[in-house]
Structure formats: C-alpha cells, structure tokens
Amino acid sequence: MKINGGIPLKGTIKTQGAKNAALPVMAVCLLLRGQTLTLDNVPDLYDINTMIALIEDLGVNAEIMRSENKSQIAFHVPEEIKWEVSENLARKMRGSSLLLGPVLASCGRVSLPLPGGCSIGARPIDLHLKGLKQMGADIEIQNGIVHASVKGKLRGRRIYLDFPSVGATENLMMAASLAKGETIIENIAREPEIDNLAAALRCIGVPVELEGTGGVRIQGIESVHSGHERVIPDRIETCTYILAGIMTNGHIKIEDIVPSHIDAILAKLEEAGAKFSVRRNVIEIFPAKKRLHPISVKTMPYPGFPTDSQPQMGAALSIARGVSTIEESVFQARFLYAQELNRMGADIQISRDVAVIRGVERLKGANVKATDLRAGAALIIAGLSAEGETIVEDMVHVWRGYEAIDKKLKSLGAQVELVS
Ligand code: EPZ
C-alpha cells in the first residue's frame, strides 16, 4: 500500500465484526448435525475465508450472504462430517486449532496439523491438549499432526488453565458442550470473544455460565439445535483507527464500537492527553493542540492493555513528546515492527521484552515491510502521519484482519493506493 502522509483524517467509519470472535463462533457449527448455525456481522477477511474453507472441507455447506450493510453466513451442517482437517488449509492460519475441540467432541476423533510458529512467538497449544486429555482424550502427535480420540464421550471435569489462554479457553468450552456431565474451567481468558462464544453456545442450547471469579461452568448436553448469533464489533480494529485519527491529528468518528471493550486503551490515551469523547456506541476523536505525552504501557490478558494493539500504540508513541516504554508480557517477540519504524525516523530501542521509545517530532516516509498483521497496521498508521510517501509491503498480513482498510482510509480522506 502506497501512502502519502501528513493528511489529517476526517469523517466517519464503522467497525467490522471481530475477527477473533468470529473464528471460534464459526467453529461452533461443527457441534451441530443436520442443523444450521447462522451468524451475523461476520467480517470479510482472509482468515475468515480460510476458516470457511476449513469448515466446508469437513463437509459443511456455508451459505454466504453479503450486501452493503449485511454480512451473514449460514452454516448448514450435514448428519456426518469429516474429522480429518486439511493440512494445507490448516497451515495457513493458527486459528485452525479451534477446530480441535468441536470436532473431537462431535466426532469422537480429530486429526489436525500442529500450528507452526509465527513471527510473534512459538504459539504452542499445550494447554489446549492438556485440557482435552483431562477430559479423557487420547492424544498422539505424529509428524506434526495431532491425532486425538475418545472412546464414547469426553467427560466433564474441573480444569485449571495455567495461563488464561484465549484459544485454550475456547477449545475447551466447545469440547465441554457435548461432554458427559459438567465442566468447570478456572482461570479462563476474559476477552470479549469469550462472551461471544458463550452466547453462540447458548444459542444452540448449551447451558454456559460465566462466573465473575474467572471461571466458566458448562453442562454437557446430548443434542444441540440450530441457532442464530451476532459477532461482536472488532475492538482491535477500533483501536487501530483511533490511533490513526490521533497520529494524523484528525477529526473522525467510529461507529458500532463497544466502549467497555476498549477501556484499557482509552485509559492510556487519556493519560497521554489524547482528545476524544464516547457516546453510546460511537467514539469521536478530536484534533489535539499538542502531541501525545509519553506513557508507560504493559500488555496483559484482558482486561489489561491488549497485546494486539501494542504495535499500533508503539507507532503512536514514536511521535509523542518524550520517552515512553512498552512491555510486551503476552508474546515472546512482538517488536519486529520497531526496526521498520526506525527506518521511518523513529527512535525505538528494544531490550528483551521492553521497548524504549524516544518520541520524535515527525516520522519520514520510507519503504517498510509488514511482518505480521498488527505490525502491518502499525506501519500503515505511521505512514499516514509521516512526511512524504510510505510503501508498506506484504499487505497479505494486513488483509488477514482488516476488512477493506484501503477503502476505509480513503473514505477518511487518506491518500492511499494499492500498488502491485
Ligand atoms: C488469540 O491468540 C488471538 N488470536 C491473538 O490475536 C491474540 O494476540 C491472543 O489471543 C492474545 O490475546 C485469535 O483469537 C484467533 P493465547 P491465541 O492462547 O489464542 C501462550 C491477532 O493479531 N500459550 O491467549 O493463540 C502463547 O504462546 C492475533 O489477531 C501457551 O503457552 O493466544 C502466548 O504466549 C495474534 N500454550 C500466550 O499464551 C497454549 O496452549 C497467549 O496465547 C496456548 C497459549
């Protein structure tokens, strides 16, 4: 994407459906047999299309109905589905690990390639497998493929997650839905995606109770039924455009947001002196007289500051008035974007899991490379604020999570263009 920077963004956009909520909620359809799961507000993204392909490859018919202001998918599930997940499709997206729980629970067995590492860290699924084993699954790994099976049904039980892993929480909630008896999972992830998944499980008849103590209680049931659920708005996409508005000193509105989902971001932006107001499900960003103050940020599992907004915040703080720090405590290596920002004139030093960001007056356009989805987004908003022209290469990473980002930015007055 070629960006001509320095233009204050102006106008109104609407948040897409949340990628990280849609992926597990779509996998819920694999618990059905001869029934339909209908989902509203499913974003049109690479990763979503990969998940649709994975689900269709198992035998489900996905009816996609998209129009100007409608994005609905109906998953019509046959009486029988396959339990071997396509390797080349699964290797395209780590989120394919979310098929483990529902396919094992509904078929009694599943084969799925172990997800590979990626640029932000090792990304193991040991907590997913440990929980499934505790529910009675036999698990073997042979040349990179996970083979899980269970005689009869999985058994409900109390499970403690060593880390509030989002994916492990989601897989085990789906597995527990058809298990025999009650499952209680402690120390679960608290991301809003978990609430969306709980709602999707309830809509097909699974009794799910999220407890304030950071646990969830699920009664395994014999049979589920068709259901209809809506995907929540994408809090990470929202944060990305908020920071784009701030970095270009623009005046924008973002509609269909859930303010409580971005509390941590808003608190840090307020601390940094950003000017914005929130009314119901709309946030309005105002031009500020002065650049952001420097702040210290530490990423944490929800409701802490989200790791998925860390690169974008790094870009915003690279032009703050002083020295900021960001500590990345969730992933091992989520600072690859810093070197690319430094090529645009930023002054970011990394030591292990801490970035020290010395704010500069202005970034300068350069040719930079996206290394992962959120790093790509950080480079785009940096380019929007930089002086001159920026080219962000390897946009394939960005298309995984940002629906029509070129069109949305153009509608806000940005001079952006896709170049091959
Ligand atoms: C989800 O990944 C998101 N992906 C990630 O978003 C997000 O960064 C992450 O949650 C944290 O919020 C989807 O929802 C599809 P985790 P997930 O399991 O489930 C370690 C994006 O940009 N861990 O909470 O993989 C793991 O290595 C993506 O949209 C284990 O050690 O995250 C990591 O350090 C990037 N063993 C930490 O926990 C396990 O079995 C968080 O992982 C599982 C996880």
Residue nearest to atom 33 of ligand 1 (CA): 331
Average the pLDDT over 241-259 and give the result: 98
Q: Is 331 touching ligand 1 by the criterion CB < 6 Å?
A: yes
Q: Is 20 touching ligand 1 by the criterion CB < 6 Å?
A: yes
Q: Is 376 touching ligand 1 by the criterion CB < 6 Å?
A: no
- Using pLDDT thresholds of 50, 70 and 90, give the confidence band for residue 365: very high
Q: Is 416 exposed, middle or buried (0-12, 13-18, 19+ CB in 10 A)?
A: buried
Average the pLDDT over 254-261 and give the result: 98
Q: 170 alpha carbon to ligand 1 midpoint, in Å?
A: 11
Q: Which two tokens stand for residue 390?
A: 């920026």
- CA pair distance 404, 313, nearest whole angstrom: 21
pLDDT per position as a tens digit, 212-221 = 889 999 999 9
Q: 354 alpha carbon to ligand 1 midpoint, in Å?
A: 19
373 Cα nearest atom in ligand 1: 22
Q: What is the pLDDT of residue 120?
A: 75
Q: What is the pLDDT of residue 2?
A: 98
Q: 314 alpha carbon to ligand 1 midpoint, in Å?
A: 20
- CA pair distance 11, 19, nearest whole angstrom: 24
Q: Is 373 touching ligand 1 by the criterion CB < 6 Å?
A: yes
Residue nearest to atom 38 of ligand 1 (CA): 165
- CA pair distance 344, 105, nearest whole angstrom: 50
Q: What is the pLDDT of residue 333?
A: 79
Given a cut of 70, whether residue 116 has pLDDT beyond it is no
Q: What is the pLDDT of residue 10?
A: 98
| Ligand 1 pocket test target in 16, 19, 20, 141 with most atoms within 8 Å of CB | 20
Neighbours of 11 (CB within 10 A): 16
Bridge-based pairing state of the strands 347-351 and 354-358 = antiparallel
What's the chain's average pLDDT? Answer: 96
Peptide linkage before 259 cis (omega within 30 of 0)? no
pLDDT per position as a tens digit, 43-92 = 999 999 999 999 999 999 999 999 988 899 999 999 999 999 999 999 98
125 Cα nearest atom in ligand 1: 40
Length of the chain: 420
- Say whether 283 sits in a helix, a strand or coil: strand
| Eight-class DSSP state of 163 | S
| Eight-class DSSP state of 291 | P
| Ligand 1 pocket test target in 47, 139, 161, 165 with most atoms within 8 Å of CB | 165
Q: Is 160 touching ligand 1 by the criterion CB < 6 Å?
A: no
Secondary structure E strands in 54-207: 61-67, 70-76, 109-113, 138-142, 145-149, 158-160, 182-186
128 Cα nearest atom in ligand 1: 40
Average the pLDDT over 397-413 and give the result: 97
Q: Which two tokens stand for residue 268?
A: 């840090």
Residue nearest to atom 16 of ligand 1 (CA): 165
Q: Which two tokens stand for residue 76?
A: 């019509």
Q: Is 162 touching ligand 1 by the criterion CB < 6 Å?
A: no
Q: What is the pLDDT of residue 212?
A: 82
pLDDT per position as a tens digit, 272-294 = 999 999 999 999 999 998 999 99
Would you please indicate which residues are annotated as catalytic (active-site) residues? 118
